[in-house]
Chains A and B, each alone.
Chain A
Amino acid sequence: AQSVTQPDARVTVSEGASLQLRCKYSYFGTPYLFWYVQYPRQGLQLLLKYYPGDPVVQGVNGFEAEFSKSNSSFHLRKASVHWSDWAVYFCAVRGAGNKLTFGIGTRVLVRP
């Protein structure tokens, strides 16, 4: 069965600094991978998705992610964090039936 590990439960970053959130996946075959963001008291919103092809994927609001098959990773990056990026970020892998398996999430706190 597929799984996703997000090793960092919480990350604190200063506004304007760069951000990287780690995601490791376990999947037999070629994975389809996703990053979602959850703002306070809201549902999940899609940031970006990886379908087999270019390993670097661009998303909304300046986010990008890089797929690595050798490392079984799909890390999320942003060059310059804004206060509005304060949220919880979830990595997910798609399995049979288009079912998504999520990690536990990484909470990003932004210091002014």
Chain B
Amino acid sequence: EAGVTQSPRYAVLQEGQAVSFWCDPISGHDTLYWYQQPRDQGPQLLVYFRDEAVIDNSQLPSDRFSAVRPKGTNSTLKIQSAKQGDTATYLCASSRSGNTLYFGEGSRLIVV
């Protein structure tokens, strides 16, 4: 069984640029999570979906961050007008019906 796949693995931006991260969850997993992990910190939840519906996006900086999962499978996290404070690894995880979360390898973002 394939794991959670994320791309790109790395991105380097200047402030003000935009970037999109893509996540392909494990087949059959209905719930998908995006976490932000700043350097030397634990992951912090940004948003999560059940199928195509956003269940909780209360921690997503809505002015510059957006996330979609239009068909309830793959998901895209987009950052517009990136800031240096957005430098972090963005982790995608999926689960089946509220069971164990499985994480991808992450997309590492550096904003200079």
Contact = CB atoms under 8 A, between A and B. Distances in A.
B41 A45 contact: no
Contacts of B6: 43
Contacts of A101: 45
B56 A43 contact: no
A104 interface: yes
Interface stretch (B12-20, B61-69, B74-82, B102-110): B102-110
A99 B48 contact: yes
A90 B42 contact: yes
B31 interface: yes
8 contacts: A36-B103, A42-B105, A44-B103, A46-B101, A90-B42, A103-B42, A105-B41, A105-B42
Interface residues of A, number: 20
A103 B41 CA distance: 8
Contacts of B56: 97, 99
Interface size class of B (residues with CB under 8 A): 20 to 34
A22 interface: no
Interface of A is mostly: strand
Nearest to A4: B42
Given A4-B42, A90-B42, A100-B45, 17 more contacts: A36-B103, A42-B105, A43-B4, A43-B105, A44-B43, A44-B91, A49-B100, A92-B42, A97-B55, A98-B31, A99-B33, A101-B45, A102-B42, A102-B44, A104-B42, A105-B40, A105-B41
Contacts of A98: 31, 95, 98-99, 101
